Amino acid sequence: MGVLRLSLAVTVLLFHVGVGSSPYFRPINGESAVFCFFVISGFYMEMILAQKYTRERLGPNWVWLFYASRYLRLFPLYAIVALVVLFFGPQGSVAQMPAGFAAPGHAVTITVLRTALAAVANATLFLSNVPSVTDLWITAIWSLGVELSFYAVAPWLLRMRLGWLAAAAAIGASLQFLPYGQHAPVLFGAHFFILGALLSRYRGAITERGPFQRLWRGKWILYGLVLFLVFYSLPWDIALGPPQNHAYNFLDRTLYPLAIGLLLPFLHEATQNSGTDFFIGKLSYPFYLLQQFLVDVSAGWTSAYKTWTLVLTCVLASVVLSEIERLAIEPWRQRLGEGRKRPARGAGGKPAGSE
């Protein structure tokens, strides 16, 4: 699963660099990649809420422990990268940043509210899917706001019956076609998270039955399918309605998360005990946070090797941030998940759902 996650993060960087397609190389759209991340997130959340963060293991505070664990997964690395952006980014110092919140032509009250909302989003990640991305220090965190809104309801949502899940998915799918510009409303993307959760819930039945029951044993075949889907996309970028600014009503934004999602049960079975794949996957989040900063600071650099130099630099910086997380943050997260019973473990001895 780690190779998939890092590959998707790389395509987001390529999207922001503006890498064009060729007969041999056509990375998927950055927005499609983010939606694939939502499916992956739903897959993992179903797993850890079923096996690790439960009332039986953790007692009556299990929901708050889940919230704290997820926030510790997202916020500390974000805070480090945000400080780097504020002090070393091309937009200038911390003192100059609030000027970016101004809303020309708007009433003073609207400007104040917008500034306050943007300040909360940038300082905490909460509601970062509500302001315009132009108000965010790191534009990519709009998707983290969507993630947090899903985490807020996941302990209850993922225990609903299939009919209620289908209704929530329908709401999320309908929001994909609203002309809301650069904002992502509450429950936006719910269908992607729910798709991932259902694929996780029924992963045993998917991987052990039917003509594909042995597919997960061919790890390298799966990696080949992943790299093909991610870096040689099919021409599915067809608008399903009147295109809007930053609207997501394109066919590839729906088909790619579905295609990637169908591979997840097999990828999980094939890689769940691979330490190398786990390490690669841990790089995807810091890579995602860093990519826009590196693209911005290299804007004036022209070189035939610029794109791949950026990718390599981002990978190396992500290794450093991942080590900081492992040493300083991960022990705190592990304590949150220590229940009154021993955690369920996979065949390789790694705690189940250790995402």
Distances (CA, A) of 124 to 40, 89, 137, 179: 23, 19, 12, 27
- Mean pLDDT check: name the lowest of 24-33, 141-150, 236-245, 248-257: 236-245
pLDDT of residue 250: 80
Find the mean pLDDT for residues 340-346: 49
**SS3 labels along 221-254:** HHHHHHHHHHHECCCCCCECCCCCCCCCCEHHHH
Give the model's confidence band at 65: pLDDT under 50 very low, under 70 low, under 90 confident, else very high.
Answer: very high
Does residue 248 carry a pLDDT above 90? no
Instruction: Say what the pLDDT of residue 94 is.
Output: 44
The yes-or-no verdict on residue 95 having pLDDT over 50 is no
Query: Is the separation of the CB atoms in 282 and 216 below 8 Å?
Result: no
Whether 10 contacts 28, CB under 8 Å: no
pLDDT the model gives residue 315: 97
Whether residue 93 has pLDDT greater than 70 = no
Mean per-residue pLDDT, 92-114: 54
pLDDT digits (tens, 9 = 90+) for 160-184: 888 888 888 888 888 777 765 556 6
Average pLDDT over residues 293-299: 90
Query: Which residues are 26's β-sheet partners?
Result: 232
Name the CA radius of gyration of the chain, rounded.
20
Residues sharing a CB contact under 8 Å with residue 209, sequence separation 6 or more, in sequence order:
none
What's the rounded Cα separation, in Å, for the pair 85 and 219? 38
Q: Taking residues 280-290, what's their average pLDDT? A: 96
Phi, psi of 176 (to 5 degrees): -65, -20
Instruction: Say yes or no to pLDDT of 246 above 60.
Output: no
Region 143-153: mean pLDDT is 92
Top mean pLDDT of 85-99, 150-164, 214-228 is at 150-164
What's the pLDDT tens digit per position in 19-29? 866 667 888 88
The segment with the largest mean pLDDT, out of 118-122, 180-184, 249-253, is 118-122
Number of other residues whose CB lies within 10 A of the CB of residue 303: 9
Q: What is the pLDDT of residue 100?
A: 44
Where does residue 51 fall: left (phi above 0), alpha (psi -120 to 50 degrees), or beta otherwise? alpha
Instruction: Compute φ and ψ for 188, nearest 5 degrees.
Output: -60, 135
Q: Considering only CA atoms, which of 97, 174, 105 is closest in space to residue 137? A: 97
Identify the pLDDT of residue 347.
45
In sequence order, the 6+-apart residues with CB closer than 8 A to the CB of 164 are none
**Distance in angstroms between the alpha carbons of the first and the last residue of the chain:** 11
Written as one letter, the residue type at 349 is G
pLDDT the model gives residue 36: 95
DSSP string, 275-294: HHHHHHHHTHHHHHHHHHHH
- For residue 258, the SS3 value is helix
| Residue linked to tokens 């293991």 | 57
pLDDT value at residue 33:
93
